[in-house]
Amino acid sequence: MELKGLSSAIGVIGTAVSAVNGILRMTIDVETKTKLSRVLDMLIDTQGKLQEAIAATAALERRIVDLEDNKMKIEQFRAEKAGYRLAPKGPGSFVYVQKELTRGEEPLPEFCAACFDQEVKSILQLTRRVPGGQVFGCSRCRAEILVPLESAGDTIESTGRRRSNLDDYLD
């Protein structure tokens, strides 16, 4: 039964409670009053149970709306995720970057792979410099990536691979 029907049922029971109370005020025999009192108790109990059912139904309807919103966000993220790829960042570390076709004029942001896999975009930022390298960190999961100085200035080319300092010698 939907919320509207439950609310209507409470109204009907409220009317019945009023009618039984009116009858109980009349001059009638004890046996009839006893039976009517039991009917009144059952009506009041039913009314309470209906109010509980209304509250539970309303909570479930809110939960359904929340789940549908969450599902829509997940579907949107998955569709957007198709425009990203994994790219190396430092030895043994990877980040998510936009594929070249979906990239605009602005700088290429690098997203934490762990967070991105949990459907959260968290941009890696330079957190500190250390002897021989730079440390990039994720403010969400606190992951850190050490990028040696020789590869800190590398760029990701349209071929999808990192350009290293050795490439200059190989060309």
What does the pLDDT look like over 138-150, one tens digit per residue? 999 999 999 998 7
Phi, psi of 105 (to 5 degrees): -85, -25
Judge whether 59 and 43 are in contact, CB under 8 Å. Answer: no
Region 136-165 average pLDDT: 66
| Beta strand extents in 120-165 (DSSP E only) | 125-130, 133-137, 144-148
Say which residue the tokens 């009314």 belong to: 47
- Which pLDDT belongs to residue 151? 53
Q: Select the more confidently predicted residue: 169 or 36.
A: 36
Span 80-134, pLDDT tens digits? 898 899 999 988 899 999 887 655 677 788 999 999 999 999 999 999 999 989 9
Alpha-carbon 64 to chain mean position: 12
Type of residue found at 7: S
Confidence bin at 170 (pLDDT 50/70/90): very low
Q: Which residues of 17-31 are buried (b: 16+ CB within 10 A; e: fewer)?
A: beebeeeeeeeeeee
Phi, psi of 168 (to 5 degrees): -65, -35
Give the chain's mean pLDDT: 82
Say which residue the tokens 């149970």 belong to: 49
Percent above pLDDT 90 for the chain:
42
Confidence bin at 18 (pLDDT 50/70/90): confident
